[in-house]
Structure 1
Amino acid sequence: MEYDYIIAGGGSAGAVLAARLSEDPSITVCLIEAGGQGKSFLINTPAMVAAMVSGRPRLHNWAFRTEPQPHLNNRRCYQPRGKALGGSSAINAMLYVRGHPSDYDQWADLGADGWDWQSVLPYFLKSEGNSAAVGPLHNAEGPLQVTDQQSPHAITHAFVQAMADIQLPENPDFNGETQFGAGLYQVTQFHTGPRKGRRCSAAAAFLHPVMSRPNLTVLTHARAERIVLDGNRAKGLIAKQKNRRLSLKARREVILSAGAFGSPQLLLLSGIGPEEELRAHNIPVAHALPGVGRNLQDHLDHTLIWRSPRPDVVGFNPAGLMRLLRGWRPFREHGTGVLTTPGAEGGAFLMSRPDLQIPDLQVHFVVAIVDDHMRRIHLADGWSAHVCLLRPESRGHVGLRDANPASPPRIDPNFLSDPRDLATLKAGVRLLEQAMSADALAPWRGQRLYPHDNSDAGLEADIRARADTIYHPVGTCRMGRDTMAVVDPDLRVKGLEGLRVVDASVMPRLIGGNTNAPTIMIAERAADLIRAAREMSDV
């Protein structure tokens, strides 16, 4: 089987890229995805994120585990990642957040030419179909439907008022003129038509509507195992679909869109990466590239949890489950009600110190008890407030466990290895605890889970015992010009031809916010870069 472009990974980036590249009927595109179609009831119903994120059972979720984390009591932390067309946009909380403009200017300063804020903004706008926000920073016509939440809970508005008690102003648009403040998140959710209220994953927005194109082949339940190299040129992929092995040839390019864990793993399995890593697993070195798998960054998050004496939250007790069941009719008929909730309804961006110019902390306010990623169920009504540090100094890496493509990657975020991260996170927890004690939340504030003594040592012990990811790993195939960069600013793998990486792994530094919208932006811009390269080669 031969195609012009082969894309490994049908997640947020791969789905966008396949749709955009196949707009040209003169070229052929093959997309490979290890999961399914991304159209199930669990995916389409926003509140069902609670059933998928835990990985118990593994529903559309790779449910990875990290290496023991020395600075988190040697715990093996959890790393849920989407396994379906749409990738993690099929199992996330649907929050539409771009990050801070200065994040992208810093990318450019680090050698990612052409990825400054003014250069990437048009690609954010190209994808966005926003029903509510207006002005030069938004677009209503893009395929990715973005909207205000359909049926936010009363407690979420109380959360915004509580944040005002620590002098945090209300912010109706985290993607507007300023990021600082507290408010309700906008979400990637259908806001018109028969799918109103359903999740608008990257696949639902970009890929599902065009899968009948004759020049687009989508192979689901197919896992890329190895890049085929001919000298220094990528010529195709070896993939396994169920029990048959596929040899796929690429006339123009192979593109890796398997995410911050999958893309470096596939490069390493193909003999591309640090020589010592490859030799440790008896993989012949095809192309030495020391930065592959390095520079892993993630948002470390700490959760404060309360039971609620009021039932107007999402509970997993019999009464709460009945409320969810009763929500089926308004969801099906009108796209409203409790089943439309993203869970993390409220949010805030704030600063740990008064001398900072931009937020370094983010809050996610969830209208349910979220304990250990929903893997520890409490039969009670309640709510959770999460705080994460936006720009960690700690760096980890992704490697191989062995040379078997079916083995999970070896993931070591190295959380809190830089002591500055612990200091920032502690400051964030203190600010959040202060806000959550406000009168506005008093009607919902019952018993606190995991209380700690008010000492610095008590707080530190609580963080080391319970902190974990908020699901934003990036950076393991970073772009740049230096020797540790894996791809150049055109996302071409350095030293090789016909091979690119297009996903969150190319980010030089983690952005100050959720990473789904930036990943879609990267794919939008990559489609133009690939198109320009094709036009140049055809001259």
Structure 2
Amino acid sequence: MDFRWWRRSFFGAFLSWVFFFLRFSCSDKACAAPEYTFVKEATSAPPVIFYDYIIIGGGTAGCPLAATLSHGGATVLVLERGGSPYTNPNITNIGNFASVLLDRSPTSPAQPFTSEDGVYNARARILGGGSAVNAGFYTRASTHYIKKVGWNQKMVKQAYEWVEQVVAFQPPLMEWESAFRDGLLEVGVLPNNGFTYDHLYGTKIGGTIFDKEGHRHTAADLLQYANPRKITVYLHAIVHKILFRHIPGTARPQAYGVIYKDAYGVRHLAYLKRNSKNEIILTAGAIGSPQLLMLSGIGPGYHLRTHGIQVVVNQPLVGQGMADNPMNVLLIPSPLPVEVSLVQVVGITKFNTFIEGASGLSFVYPLARRLAKRFRLFLNQSDYEPFKVPPEDMARAVDTVNAVVNRTLRAGIILEKITGPASTGHLELRNLNPDDTPFVTFNYFKEPEDLRKCIEGMRTVISVVNSKAFSKFRYKNMPIEALINLMLTLPINNRPRHATAAISLEQFCIDTVMSIWHYHGGCQVGRVVDKEYRVLGVDSLRVVDGSTFYRTPGTNPQATVMMLGRYVGKRILQERYLSRRSKHKN
């Protein structure tokens, strides 16, 4: 039997469920989709246009950046390769959330790809970026992180608050999540920090970008802050190349325009107006930004020449430092009905692992039956005899699974995600098509430090599953070993399985690693860009997104990426104001 559909469908449904359906209601923040007169299809764009700022990527950082820059008197153009989130009910309505990751169409808002490590992943292709297709968990970076990066703490706080006025909400905590929270506290993930956006050691309830009516609020909603007379957003506009020129008397090439194509493949040109302060700003994400730099001639010279690309700046560090926070999961069938919830509670440990949970997995009937069949098969396989689970317990476990997945799989998951990570990889061009995902290698667990964190994290997960507080949501006759074996049978990645993974948490971490979509790197500060996010070696070009990070901020980066767009936008406006003021004085 051909199980390729099963693998794709299960993986999408499994990840979708991890962050699945929860209903909220509108508070004072509007639930209705904003109506933007300045958002248009790129097919309506003139062949040649001129703007003060050209932003490539209307994503998690690009939207708040564009909205901010539109208030500085300059004109702003945003080129987004995807469509609008407001016309797709699978994005706007939380009840259809699973369909986003299962969408395998050529224009899917969550473009699927598999890293060279054999781990399934997704890349946003939609206005709003990852905030339009993710799980919605909202939390700030730690004070330590902000200080280490060197950001202005007052401006960072103001930028977070600016974002939160539109997109952040407090979720209600129901029974499964409450039991998970109490389990974390019982096993020593202390203190209890209650609800907070702040990153604090212990157990806390985080924020969400879903309101109480189940409506998603993405970074695209931040465009309601924009000055509509100064901004234009073109959808389905795929940028193929940034243009550079040499100005007489200067040694550095200057970015001055871009080539992009619309949905019909028609070529357009966008140029910067003549002003030394005007810029092109890349906000195409941790994959798109280093990819587009390379396609435009900034990157490792030898690699660019193999693709026939003229080298503008030989910059070997573009595409380096790619990292993805590894996630490992235990699926826990429940004897009781459970609410369907997003990730709401997180345990932030002092050994640098985050513990999160979600509940309410519901598969379509054929998928549930296949899962039941696979679970029955692994319980009878001799490969897992080292567990030495008594036959009568295994028999009861089989009966339990048959009952649980008869129609719907009532279950929860508890996952661990390590901080950092220390392990890094690289990105290389696949071809010259900017809409194709390049080759990406993350080198999961290459550094022993990451593997140590995973083992500690999984031990904490197991302790929570075995806690008294969580006991009513797990079958007493289903041992931890059976849950581990279940994960080893599921097609959650494209990596080999080893028999030792059943008895070794180290091998289990390696074999069952998944992505939680928090990849970063490729254009890091101090390597590819300076502390003001200007690309080294050229003029009039910046990169402002997660590709500049060395580590993931907080337990989830989206809040900080949105904050970064606002923060850098304010910094640029300050620079522009001071420049004008200086000219007037002279």
TM class by shorter chain equals: 0.7 to 0.9
SS at structure 2 position matched to 1:128: helix
Q: Which moved more, 1:272-281 or 1:452-461?
A: 452-461
RMSD between superposed Cα atoms in Å? 2.4
Listed one character per residue, the Cα deviations across residues 390-427 of structure 1 (whole Å, up to 9, x for unaligned) are: 12110111221122333311111111111111111111
Offset of residue 116 of structure 1 = 5.8
- 1:365 equivalent in structure 2: 357
Percent identity (aligned) = 29
- For 2:438 and 2:501, locate their aligned partners in 1 and report how far apart those are by CA, in whole Å: 38
Find the partner of 1:28 among 70, 75, 79. 75
SS at structure 2 position matched to 1:397: strand
> Does 2:474 align with 1:445?
yes
> Does 2:441 align with 1:393?
no
Find the partner of 2:332 among 306, 312, 318. 306
SS at structure 2 position matched to 1:479: coil
- 1:199 equivalent in structure 2: 216
More helix by share: 2
> Does 2:90 align with 1:48?
no
Find the partner of 2:163 among 123, 127, 141. 127
- For 1:476 and 1:238, locate their aligned partners in 2 and report how far apart those are by CA, in whole Å: 22
Count matched residues: 462
| Structure 2 residue ranges without an equivalent (≥5) | 1-48, 247-252, 372-407, 489-498
- 1:263 equivalent in structure 2: 289
Offset of residue 456 of structure 1 = 8.8
- 2:110 equivalent in structure 1: 61
Find the partner of 1:284 among 286, 310, 322. 310
Does structure 2 retain, via aligned residues, the 8 Å contact 1:148–1:185?
yes
For 1:435, give the aligned amino acid: V
- For 2:556 and 2:338, locate their aligned partners in 1 and report how far apart those are by CA, in whole Å: 27
Offset of residue 117 of structure 1 = 4.5
- 2:389 equivalent in structure 1: none
SS at structure 1 position matched to 2:344: strand
For 1:120, give the aligned amino acid: V
- 1:238 equivalent in structure 2: 259
- For 1:537 and 1:290, locate their aligned partners in 2 and report how far apart those are by CA, in whole Å: 33
- For 2:54 and 2:100, locate their aligned partners in 1 and report how far apart those are by CA, in whole Å: 29
For 1:149, give the aligned amino acid: P
Offset of residue 313 of structure 1 = 3.1
Offset of residue 532 of structure 1 = 2.5
- 1:179 equivalent in structure 2: 200
Find the partner of 1:167 among 180, 188, 207. 188
Listed one character per residue, the Cα deviations across residues 449-485 of structure 1 (whole Å, up to 9, x for unaligned) are: 44389989522232222112111112211112xxxx1
Offset of residue 55 of structure 1 = 4.8
Please give the TM-score of this superposition, normalised by the length of structure 2: 0.74
Counterparts in 2 of 1:207-356, with a 5 A limit? 207=223, 209=224, 213-231=228-246, 232-242=253-263, 243-251=265-273, 252-314=278-340, 341=341, 343-352=342-351
Listed one character per residue, the Cα deviations across residues 2-35 of structure 1 (whole Å, up to 9, x for unaligned) are: 11111110111011111111124x3211111111
Does structure 1 retain, via aligned residues, the 8 Å contact 2:186–2:469?
no
Offset of residue 128 of structure 1 = 2.4
Inter-CA distance 182–46: structure 2 relative to 1 (3 Å threshold): farther
- For 1:350 and 1:431, locate their aligned partners in 2 and report how far apart those are by CA, in whole Å: 9
SS at structure 2 position matched to 1:440: coil
- 1:479 equivalent in structure 2: 525
- 1:424 equivalent in structure 2: 453
SS at structure 1 position matched to 2:207: coil
For 2:77, give the aligned amino acid: C
- 1:102 equivalent in structure 2: 144
- For 2:177 and 2:500, locate their aligned partners in 1 and report how far apart those are by CA, in whole Å: 26
- For 1:220 and 1:211, locate their aligned partners in 2 and report how far apart those are by CA, in whole Å: 17
For 1:434, give the aligned amino acid: S
Offset of residue 491 of structure 1 = 0.9
Does structure 1 retain, via aligned residues, the 8 Å contact 2:78–2:232?
yes
- 2:505 equivalent in structure 1: 459
For 2:120, give the aligned amino acid: Y
SS at structure 2 position matched to 1:268: helix
SS at structure 2 position matched to 1:182: strand
- For 1:127 and 1:455, locate their aligned partners in 2 and report how far apart those are by CA, in whole Å: 43
- For 2:152 and 2:339, locate their aligned partners in 1 and report how far apart those are by CA, in whole Å: 41
- For 1:488 and 1:27, locate their aligned partners in 2 and report how far apart those are by CA, in whole Å: 23
- 2:63 equivalent in structure 1: 15
Listed one character per residue, the Cα deviations across residues 425-451 of structure 1 (whole Å, up to 9, x for unaligned) are: 111101110111112222221355443
- For 1:517 and 1:402, locate their aligned partners in 2 and report how far apart those are by CA, in whole Å: 32
SS at structure 1 position matched to 2:294: helix
Listed one character per residue, the Cα deviations across residues 146-173 of structure 1 (whole Å, up to 9, x for unaligned) are: 22114x4311001111112212232214
Q: Which moved more, 1:375-384 or 1:89-98?
A: 375-384
Does structure 2 retain, via aligned residues, the 8 Å contact 1:127–1:521?
yes
- For 1:55 and 1:171, locate their aligned partners in 2 and report how far apart those are by CA, in whole Å: 38
Does structure 1 retain, via aligned residues, the 8 Å contact 2:176–2:359?
yes
Find the partner of 1:158 among 162, 179, 186. 179
Does structure 2 retain, via aligned residues, the 8 Å contact 1:102–1:117?
no
For 1:37, give the aligned amino acid: S
Offset of residue 260 of structure 1 = 0.4
- 1:72 equivalent in structure 2: none
Does structure 1 retain, via aligned residues, the 8 Å contact 2:139–2:554?
no
| Structure 1 residue ranges without an equivalent (≥5) | 70-75, 109-114, 130-143, 315-340, 353-359
Does structure 1 retain, via aligned residues, the 8 Å contact 2:197–2:206?
no
- 1:332 equivalent in structure 2: none
Does structure 1 retain, via aligned residues, the 8 Å contact 2:338–2:360?
no
Does structure 2 retain, via aligned residues, the 8 Å contact 1:211–1:218?
no
Does structure 1 retain, via aligned residues, the 8 Å contact 2:70–2:226?
no
Does structure 1 retain, via aligned residues, the 8 Å contact 2:68–2:225?
no
- For 2:420 and 2:353, locate their aligned partners in 1 and report how far apart those are by CA, in whole Å: 8
Offset of residue 201 of structure 1 = 0.8
Q: Which moved more, 1:83-92 or 1:162-171?
A: 162-171
- For 1:62 and 1:409, locate their aligned partners in 2 and report how far apart those are by CA, in whole Å: 12
Does structure 2 retain, via aligned residues, the 8 Å contact 1:222–1:240?
yes
Inter-CA distance 496–454: structure 2 relative to 1 (3 Å threshold): closer
